[in-house]
Amino acid sequence: MSRTTLSGVERTDLLRAIAERHAVRRYTDTPVPAAVRAALGQTIEAANAASGLRIQAVYDEPSAFGGRRSTYGQFRGVANYLSFVGPSQPGLPELAGYWGELVVLHAQLLGLNTCWVILTYDRAKSAATVELGEEEVLVATLGYGETPGKPHKAKPVERLGQVTGGGPWPDWFRSGVEAVALAPSAMNQQKYTFTLTGDTVRAKPGFGMHVKIDMGIAKRHFEIGAGDGPWHWAE
Ligand SMILES: Cc1cc2nc3c(=O)[nH]c(=O)nc-3n(C[C@H](O)[C@H](O)[C@H](O)COP(=O)(O)O)c2cc1C
C-alpha cells in the first residue's frame, strides 16, 4: 500500500485529531451547518478519487439508528453518518478502514464527533446508495456529541510494535506506534502488530472480528504518526 494523504491538511493537525478523537455515541440536536458539510464533502470527494471507494455522507436521516429521539444499542440522537461503500473485493474492508479513518479525522478537525459502527445500526435502513457489485462495509456516526468522549484503554506500545533483532526504536517508529495505540478498533481489540526490519515496516493483523478494517485504520494512524521517516511498507 502506498503512503497517501490528501493535500491541504498539515500532519500536526492530523496528529491533533488522532489525540482528540474518541468514540461518541450520544448526540445533540444541532444540525451540521452547510459550510461544514461542504468542507467534509471535498475531503470525501478527494478520498473517493484516490481510493475508488464511494464514501457518502448522509445527513438528517435518523432511521438507521432508530429515529432521532430513540436509543439504538448505545447510540442516541444519531441523525448523520458516513457510509463506506465500495466495490465488493477482498481488499475492500482494509481500504474502507484506511481511507475512512482519514475522513473521520478530517471530520474531527471540523469539530464533529464520530463513532465507527458495523453492528449496532439498522443496515437495511441506511440511506446510502449501494449499486450492483458494491457493498456498504460499515458506517461512522457524525454530529455534535453530548460529550467529546474519552480515551480508550490502549495496549502498551511494546505489544503493538517490535523491532526485529530487538534493537532500539527510531523516534519515527515510536511515534507511528503511539498513533496506532490511539486507533479505534472493533470492540477495542487492537489485534495487530507493526514490525520494523531495516527500514521496512510490516503490519500484520491478528485473528478476530473485523481485523481487516481495524488494520486499515491502524495503518493510517501509523503513517500519520511516523510521518516522512526513512521507511516503507513491506510488500
Ligand atoms: C471496525 C469497527 C467497528 C465498530 N463497530 C461498533 C459497533 O457496531 N457498535 C459500537 O457501539 N461501536 C463500534 N465501534 C467503536 C469501537 O467500540 C471503539 O472505536 C473502540 O472501543 C475504541 O474506542 P475509541 O473509538 O474511543 O478510541 C467500532 C469500531 C471499529 C473500528
Q: Does domain 11-143 have CATH number 3.40.109.10?
A: yes
pLDDT of residue 69: 76
| Helix or strand holding residue 16 (H, E) | helix 11-20
Report field, pTM of the whole predicted structure over 0.95: yes
| The three cell numbers locating residue 158 | 511494546
The residues with which 23 forms a beta bridge, in sequence order, are 114
pLDDT of residue 235: 78
Place of cell 481511507: 99
For atom 6 of ligand 1, the residue with the nearest CA is 117
Pocket of ligand 1 (CB under 6 A): 22-23, 25, 73-74, 115-120, 138, 149, 152, 184-188, 210, 213-214, 217
Place of cell 520494523: 196
Separation between Cα atoms, residue 116 and residue 204, nearest integer Å: 21
Separation between Cα atoms, residue 72 and residue 178, nearest integer Å: 32
* 78 closest CA partner among 120, 131, 19: 120
Q: Does domain 157-233 have CATH number 3.90.1150.10?
A: no
3-state SS, one letter per residue, for 43-75: HHHHHHHHHCCCCEEECCCHHHHCCCCCEECCE
Top mutation candidate among 25, 185, 190, 221 for ligand 1, by most atoms within 8 Å of CB:
185
pLDDT tens-digit series, residues 72-99: 889 999 999 999 999 999 999 999 999 9
pLDDT of residue 7: 67
Q: Give the count of beta carbons closer than 10 Å to the beta carbon of residue 195.
A: 15
Amino acid at 33: P
66 CA distance to ligand 1 centroid (A)? 18
Given this chain, do its domains 11-143 and 157-233 carry the same CATH topology? yes
15 CA distance to ligand 1 centroid (A)? 20
In this structure, are residues 117 and 140 in contact, taking their beta carbons and an 8 Å threshold?
yes
Q: Which residues of the chain are under the pLDDT cut of 50? A: none
Separation between Cα atoms, residue 27 and residue 147, nearest integer Å: 8
Q: With pLDDT > 70 as the criterion, what percentage of the chain qualifies?
A: 97
Domain locations along the chain: 11-143, 157-233
